[in-house]
A and B are shown apart, each in its own frame.
Chain A
Amino acid sequence: MRLTQSIIPSLLLLAAGVAQAASAWGFDDGNLSIVAKKSGETIKEKLNHKAPLQKPVSLGSSDTLKLSLTAKDNGKGRRPHQAFLVLQESESGLEAPFPLTVKENGKAAAQISHKDIPVQLLVAKKPLKASVVLASFGSAQGLNAPVFEVKIETDPTVPAPAYEKPLRYGKKPEIHHIFRPDPKSPPKIVSLIFTLAVIVTLPALLVGWAILSGNLTHLSKAMGTAPLSHATFFGSILALEFVFFMYYTSWNLFQTLPVIAAVAAVTVLSGTKALGEVQNRRLAGER
């Protein structure tokens, strides 16, 4: 039963197609109206499949777009199988078809408001291109004609519809790591001035001691009494400073420590003698 049901209309259409060979689909009485819900205002435009409307119409968030037309096959009102109003986003080419409700005599109508339109088209910046597609089985030439453009007006008080692009595999934006800035030094001239100021304190100290009548006159006496101890003691103090210098420039701690131990032993051994000599001089009232 089903099968015959499905075959009969196609057979009818087939017969019709043979009868009206090389005919073409078109429409008459094309009317476009935009009804604003709040103000009740209505904008009406006449539609023609030969020439689309010059200016885009605008569709607010609470408005309803109504389209009515009479589909004609070679001037005779008939019902086409395919009667769509297609909205197309001009940048991506994305389309949304809206089937028209068609009566036997070809009278077709459609109502579109914001909630019917997919969100991808709602967020479009440019006006959507609307075209009417009328076609059916048989040999009649179908009609696919741009008829008008519609601009989607969003209500500023209502949050814009959220649209997140679906994930697509592709290249991602490049990332280049931003390095921390290198540590900075003050201008060299400042460092140099302060270095100079530090160095100048040494002659100042020596001059100060000289004014306070510091001298080295007992050197020959000390060297005469205990030459070996004084030479080694003072030498070991110098050597210790040299060890510190080597530690600063190249040695590591494990190279440094044994050398310090050796130098320290020498310092203690020679120091007892050398400082004994200094004590003797003090006891003799010569210091």
Chain B
Amino acid sequence: MRSLLSVLVFVLAAVVSAISTSGNRLLVILDDVAEKESYSKFLGDLESRGFQLSFENPKSESLALFRLGERSYDHILFFPTKTKGLGPNLTPNLLVDFLNAKGNILVTLSSGVAAPNSLVSLLAELDIQLPADRTGLVVDHFNYDASSAADMHDVLLLPPPTRIRPDVKDFFGAGAGQDEVLVFPRGVGASLGASELLTPILRAPRTAYSYNPKEQGEVVDDLFAAGEQLALVSAFQARNSARLTLVGSAEMLQDKCFEASEVSKADGKKVAGTFNREFAKRVSGWTFNEIGVLRVNWIEHHLEEAGATNESNPKIYRIKNDVKYTISLSEYAWNAWKPFAVPDSDALQLEFSMLSPFHRLPLTLDATHSSDTAAAYSVLFKLPDQHGIFNFKVNYKRPFLSNVEEKNTVSVRHMAHNEWPRSFVISGAWPWIAGVGVTVTGWLAFCALWMFSAPVGAKRETKKTQ
């Protein structure tokens, strides 16, 4: 009994501290375990959210991302390391394999420490370009922290990020106070390629630029990137929904940046507080699948016609049938599944396609099938007048949300011969039907006449004799 109770308590505890939707084994790569003191709040936040942190040195021989073909860790967090490469256990190939196995990676860089080759190659593979020579420094002579970088201008003070597009949910800057700033000290900016899998979370201000402090201390002759082309924090989400986030400045995750009192704006305005701690929580939470994760609970489609059987998910429909399609979606938010709400100017769309879509229709919220943990979206439509093998396809890929790609195949048959309107309701067929009637009546009359008609006497016989 007691053991049962303890098991129950254990299960409940597990439910309460359940965090990421994809496991809680977090590998933290850093040079020296002593370094983690400066990140104590950030790492403490991660631990309090239920992650099991294992600290490893890149040179450690026991370090292995895979064991017997399975991931040994669910997530990796890279802090800047001074080594040029990351050793044989963290080659770019292994890291790509890790992403392919749906593992998530959070990379932090620092301008003081050259990025390891392994990470530079991995980022290049994802179309994220770092400055040449693996080093760069982002400065902004207009938005800097006057208290700690009055001359070097390399501690940027940024407003919290806003939504990147009106149809994308604001995961990272929502709810930030007006006077709160993000401190971005001595960071590296990246330039993102045109890939649709890349999204900047935090862009540099318009007047910021990146330069090489070793070679371009006097003058910027060759500009890597400037202004909003420079991504300070960027997100990559692979097609399998594995996530990689690049944070240009590891220092922004340190305890001292979580404190508000140590910064002041260039124009002397007071700063109400730094947003770094909340931002760090959101960026790590997003990377490690705690927010922005979508789940399809169920999909149902059926014939929505008077007198039709209410069978769910039939294999076959007829052309021009009225069909109702419903999909139930949940979104994970930190510790619970919530009903997924589509952003206002966005739309969840259903495609009914054979090779190419015949219909692409927006799905609307169906309150009767929704619950506290799931939202159902449905649409009622008429199947096209083309028979063949069709797919109900929901292809919902959006920045910062895990990918939803659902395909349900059904046959659409043509009209059976007895499903057409009868000929007597078609006015154009009336002369033909009348013709059949007249022929039948005429035939019967002819039969009677042929059998029962009597000759009219002499007239016919005279003809015969003649």
Interface residues, chain A, CB within 8 Å of chain B? 2, 5-6, 9-10, 13-14, 17, 79, 81-84, 86, 93, 95, 97, 99, 101-102, 133, 135-139, 142, 144, 166-177, 179-180, 185-186, 188, 191-192, 194-195, 197-199, 201-202, 205-206, 209, 213-219, 221-222, 230, 234, 237-238, 241, 244, 274, 278, 286-287
Which chain B positions have C-beta within 8 A of A86? 206, 226-227
Asked if A241 meets B438 with Cβ closer than 8 Å, knowing A79-B219, A81-B220, A142-B142, the reply is: no
Q: How far, in whole Å, are A84 and B201 apart by their CA atoms in the complex?
A: 25
Q: How far is the CB of A73 from chain B (nearest CB, A)?
A: 12
B431 at the interface (CB under 8 A from A): yes
Which chain A positions have C-beta within 8 A of B346? 170-171
Q: How far, in whole Å, are A84 and B220 apart by their CA atoms in the complex?
A: 10
B388 at the interface (CB under 8 A from A): no
Inter-chain contact A222/B451, CB cutoff 8 Å = yes
Inter-chain contact B362/A174, CB cutoff 8 Å = yes
Residue among B151, B152, B349, B448 with the highest chain A CB neighbour number at 10 A: B151
Interface residues of B in 420-442 (CB under 8 A from A): 426-428, 430-431, 433-435, 437-438, 440-442
Interface residues of B in 56-80 (CB under 8 A from A): none
Q: How far is the CB of B129 from chain A (nearest CB, A)?
A: 15
Q: How far, in whole Å, are A202 and B449 apart by their CA atoms in the complex?
A: 14
Interface residues of B in 151-208 (CB under 8 A from A): 151-153, 165, 167, 194-196, 206-207
Inter-chain contact A82/B209, CB cutoff 8 Å = yes
Inter-chain contact A177/B384, CB cutoff 8 Å = yes
Q: How far, in whole Å, are A134 and B454 apart by their CA atoms in the complex?
A: 124
B223 at the interface (CB under 8 A from A): yes
Asked if A216 meets B223 with Cβ closer than 8 Å, knowing A137-B152, A137-B153, A175-B358, the reply is: no
Which chain A positions have C-beta within 8 A of B195? 166
Given contacts A86-B226, A136-B141, 9 further A-B contacts (CB under 8 A): A95-B206, A97-B227, A144-B207, A169-B397, A174-B361, A177-B358, A186-B428, A191-B430, A202-B442
Chosen A-B contacts, 27 in total, with CB atoms closer than 8 Å, are A5-B214, A17-B151, A79-B219, A86-B227, A95-B206, A95-B226, A95-B227, A135-B141, A137-B151, A144-B207, A166-B194, A170-B167, A170-B346, A174-B360, A174-B361, A175-B358, A177-B382, A185-B427, A191-B427, A197-B431, A198-B435, A198-B438, A202-B438, A216-B449, A216-B453, A234-B447, A241-B444
Which chain B positions have C-beta within 8 A of A278? 451
Which chain A positions have C-beta within 8 A of B456? 213, 215
Asked if A97 meets B431 with Cβ closer than 8 Å, knowing A5-B217, A10-B152, A175-B360, the reply is: no
Q: How far is the CB of A168 from chain B (nearest CB, A)?
A: 6
Inter-chain contact A10/B217, CB cutoff 8 Å = yes
Q: How far is the CB of A282 from chain B (nearest CB, A)?
A: 10
Which chain A positions have C-beta within 8 A of B217? 5-6, 9-10
Q: Which of A137, A221, A237 contacts B141 (CB 8 A)?
A: A137
Which chain B positions have C-beta within 8 A of A192? 430
Asked if A10 meets B151 with Cβ closer than 8 Å, knowing A166-B196, A176-B361, A216-B453, the reply is: yes
Question: For this complex, into which size category does the number of interface residues on chain B fall?
Answer: 35 or more
Residue of B with least CB distance to A16: B151
Which chain A positions have C-beta within 8 A of B384? 177, 179
Inter-chain contact A171/B349, CB cutoff 8 Å = yes
Interface residues, chain B, CB within 8 Å of chain A? 139, 141-142, 150-153, 165, 167, 194-196, 206-207, 209, 211, 213-214, 217-223, 226-229, 320, 346-347, 349, 351-352, 357-362, 382, 384-385, 397-399, 426-428, 430-431, 433-435, 437-438, 440-445, 447-449, 451-456
Q: Which of B222, B226, B426, B430 contacts A195 (CB 8 A)?
A: B430
Which chain A positions have C-beta within 8 A of B227? 86, 95, 97
Q: How far, in whole Å, are A217 and B453 apart by their CA atoms in the complex?
A: 6
Inter-chain contact A139/B453, CB cutoff 8 Å = no
Q: How far is the CB of A270 from chain B (nearest CB, A)?
A: 12
Residue of A with least CB distance to B213: A6
Inter-chain contact A169/B398, CB cutoff 8 Å = yes
Residue of A with least CB distance to B448: A216
Q: Which of A82, A95, A169, A197 contacts B229 (CB 8 A)?
A: A95
Q: How far, in whole Å, are A278 and B167 apart by their CA atoms in the complex?
A: 91
Inter-chain contact A219/B349, CB cutoff 8 Å = no
Asked if A209 meets B438 with Cβ closer than 8 Å, knowing A101-B221, A137-B153, A191-B427, the reply is: no
Q: How far is the CB of B55 from chain A (nearest CB, A)?
A: 30
Inter-chain contact B142/A144, CB cutoff 8 Å = yes
Q: How far, in whole Å, are A197 and B351 apart by their CA atoms in the complex?
A: 52
Residue of B with least CB distance to A233: B451
Inter-chain contact A102/B360, CB cutoff 8 Å = no
Q: How far, in whole Å, are A137 and B211 apart by their CA atoms in the complex?
A: 13
Residue of B with least CB distance to A179: B385
Q: How far, in whole Å, are A173 and B150 apart by their CA atoms in the complex?
A: 50
Q: How far, in whole Å, are A14 and B154 apart by their CA atoms in the complex?
A: 13
Which chain B positions have C-beta within 8 A of A6? 213-214, 217
Q: How far, in whole Å, are A274 and B351 apart by their CA atoms in the complex?
A: 70
Which chain A positions have C-beta within 8 A of B399? 169
Q: How far, in whole Å, are A2 and B212 apart by their CA atoms in the complex?
A: 12
Residue of B with least CB distance to A199: B434
Q: How far, in whole Å, are A57 and B445 apart by their CA atoms in the complex?
A: 98
